[in-house]
Structure 1
Amino acid sequence: MLNNLATPGEFIIRDSESHPGDLTITMNAGSKNRNFKVHVEGGKFHIGQKVFPSIDSLIEHYRTHPIYKSDQEKHFLTQPFQHPNCGLYLRQLPGDFGRPPVATSTAPAAQSVFQ
């Protein structure tokens, strides 16, 4: 999905599949996606030897400092990837049972989008 919809440098953060408890930053690196393992230990986050107090501070750092895959390959994070349809939420209108839900650009009032 990132290859088709994201611009180079856009990224997502997800749970690591191979190391439970850690995270993975997947970013669009132009012709392919690149994954960077984020180790989480004692409430701290690190890629390699550089340690950060929060995931936000790690992201901010790598917006202005490169993440190296090799001496010839370095990457900068730009912004989180937002799917073009991300702003749409489905909700059922009162009295509309049996009809498909409608899309709205606002989340339902009683439901937080981010927990």
Structure 2
Amino acid sequence: MEPTTKKSKESIGNLNNKNPGKIATENMTEAQVKIATFSGQSSNIDGVKSCDQLVLDYLQQPASIAQEKGVHRDELSRQLKIPVEKIMESIRSLEEEGLIYSTIDEFHYKSTQCG
């Protein structure tokens, strides 16, 4: 009898993925990449930014900085094409880190780094 060779689960799981530990996104649609990103599978997949970073980047744009009252969470959701629930998760996280703050109410936010 010939000895059987066993492949580890990790090597089997990574046969189609050149970068173990990363999600292969080359065959995914943009929507699939967003879903993978926002489902917590990775905070940064092959250059796709996390929701937290997208929100922070948006709040640091000159047009956002110019808004005296801050940016409404619905605007963030609309412009970034991310569900409001995910926007709110990012807002809570960014507030805890001291990177953003609420302005006139719990729906408007500004970056601490840009005024």
Instruction: Tell me, yes or no, whether TM beats 0.5.
Output: no
TM-score by length of 1: 0.23
Compare CA radii of gyration and give the structure with the larger one: 2
Task: Tell which has more relative contact order, 1 or 2 (C-alpha 8 A, sep 6+).
Answer: 2
Higher relative strand content: 1
Higher relative helix content: 2
